[in-house]
Structure 1
């Protein structure tokens, strides 16, 4: 017999049974809790009415945040790569000067 790999989560006062790989239950529950919080935030603003619209607005907000963070991470990665290249050039330059100095001393 196979064991059921479903997790029950509650989002905006509704219960959902979702298939989930073993070992990912905690992550799914965290994601559902985060989504529930975002949807409640949007609903409490009173500007969006209807669960479908609230879900779409929450998805757009979460996606916007994700893309913004990804852009920041990409910029940090690029900056770090440039810094590492600069350090490697300095090391290469220092080693080349050291070899020149050792060669002249002999």
Structure 2
């Protein structure tokens, strides 16, 4: 896995980040999400100072993550990988039943 440097901007501030080619798209998406959240905090509140804006944005994103985790825990939402795994298991079970039926 080769590491590369990418240039990004958050609230107008440039940052150089290291990532692999495989994770670049996800990192750029995360940067865009953080930039958007920090922009929202700056626009919607009287919070000043990039560090304070960053903390408020981090709290907002953490709250969003916790809500999602709770909904997954309570069966209200399912992670895509869990769905794929369940569908794969169901297909295997169906295949076994069909093979048994055809063997009769």
TM-score exceeds 0.5: yes
TM-score when scaled to structure 1?
0.66
Structure-1 residue corresponding to 2:68: 69
Structure-1 residue corresponding to 2:22: 23
The alignment yields a C-alpha RMSD, in angstroms, of: 1.4
**C-alpha distance in 2, partners of 1:67/1:4?**
31
Larger CA Rg, structure 1 vs 2: 1
TM-score when scaled to structure 2?
0.67
CA drift at 1:45: 1.4
- Unmatched tracts of structure 1, length 5 or more: 78-106
Structure-2 residue corresponding to 1:8: 7
Query: Hey, which bits of structure 1, 4+ residues long, moved more than 3 A?
Result: none
- Unmatched tracts of structure 2, length 5 or more: 77-104
Structure-2 residue corresponding to 1:50: 49
**C-alpha distance in 1, partners of 2:47/2:3?**
36
